[in-house]
């Protein structure tokens, strides 16, 4: 998937700042922000910033990666649940893959995720690290 600059930039609020949308009607927190609340279909939201602390719900060790991630394999990919119930899929970094366990406390950090060759866009986002 090419890293089109506009496409990368559109995701800045969630990937750079962990911005989510809290539904004014039911309080559900949607991450990334969306126009319609997935819990109640409400359309009024306030922006909130997520607490980066969470825990690993499930994970895998990717041995055969997509082309963009060839240099990183093997790497841990996990579903992480944050304090307010928001879930994200991201890598778990700075850890021996064999040491990752379900339930492990982690914290999301701002990291480089992908780059489009030597001259292209570098895309940043979050990876989880052991808390």
Partner 1 sequence: MREVAIVGIGLSRWGEVWDASLRSLWTEAALAALADAGVDTVDSITVGCMSPGLFVGQEHLGALLADELGMPGVPATRVESACASGGVALKAAFAEVASGMADIVLASGVEKMTDVSGDECTAALATAADAELEVFHGASFPGLYAMMARAHMERYGTTREQLAMVAVKNHKHGSMNPRAQYRQEITIKDVLRSAKVADPLNVLDCSPITDGAAAVILAELSVARKLAKGRPVVKITGIGHATDAIALHSRPDMTSIPATTKAAQRAFAMAGKGPQDVHFVELHDCFTIAEIVVLESLGLCAPGEGGKQAESGRTALGGALPVNVSGGLKSKGHPVGATGIAQMVELATQLRGQAEKRQVAKARVGLAQNMGGTGASTVVTVVEVAS
Q: Which stretch binds partner 1 (CB under 8 A): 16-24, 46-54, 119-127?
A: 119-127
The dihedral sign for the CA sequence 21, 25, 28, 30: negative
Length of the chain in terms of residues written: 131
In the complex, minimum distance from the CB of residue 11 to partner 1, in angstroms, rounded to a whole number: 6
As a whole number of angstroms, the distance between CA 33 and CA 21 comes to 5
64 binds partner 1 (CB under 8 A): yes
The 10 Å Cβ neighbour count of residue 40 is 12
- In the 3-class helix/strand/coil scheme, how is 62-77 assigned residue by residue? ECCCCHHHHHHCCEEE
> Could you say which of 48, 77, 121, 129 contacts partner 1 (CB under 8 A)?
77
> Could you say which of 13, 32, 42, 130 contacts partner 1 (CB under 8 A)?
32
Q: Which stretch binds partner 1 (CB under 8 A): 20-28, 41-49, 60-68?
A: 60-68
In the complex, minimum distance from the CB of residue 23 to partner 1, in angstroms, rounded to a whole number: 15
As a whole number of angstroms, the distance between CA 127 and CA 89 comes to 9
In the complex, minimum distance from the CB of residue 91 to partner 1, in angstroms, rounded to a whole number: 6
Instruction: Give the tokens for residue 90.
Output: 């991201």
Which positions lie near partner 1, rule CB under 8 A?
A: 1, 11, 32, 38, 57-69, 72, 75, 77-79, 87-91, 97, 102, 113-114, 123, 125, 127
């Amino acid at each position: 998937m090419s890293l089109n600059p506009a496409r990368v930039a559109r995701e800045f609020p969630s990937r750079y700042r962990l911005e989510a949308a809290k539904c004014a009607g039911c309080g559900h927190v949607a991450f990334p922000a969306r126009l319609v609340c997935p819990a109640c279909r409400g359309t009024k939201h306030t922006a909130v910033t997520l607490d980066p602390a969470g825990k690993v719900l499930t994970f895998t060790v990717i041995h055969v990666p997509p082309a963009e991630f060839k240099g990183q394999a093997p790497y841990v990919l996990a579903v992480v649940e944050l304090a307010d119930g928001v879930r994200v899929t991201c890598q778990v970094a700075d850890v021996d893959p064999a040491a990752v366990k379900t339930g492990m406390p982690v914290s999301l950090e701002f990291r480089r995720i992908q780059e489009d060759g030597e001259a292209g866009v570098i895309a940043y986002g979050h990876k989880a690290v052991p808390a």
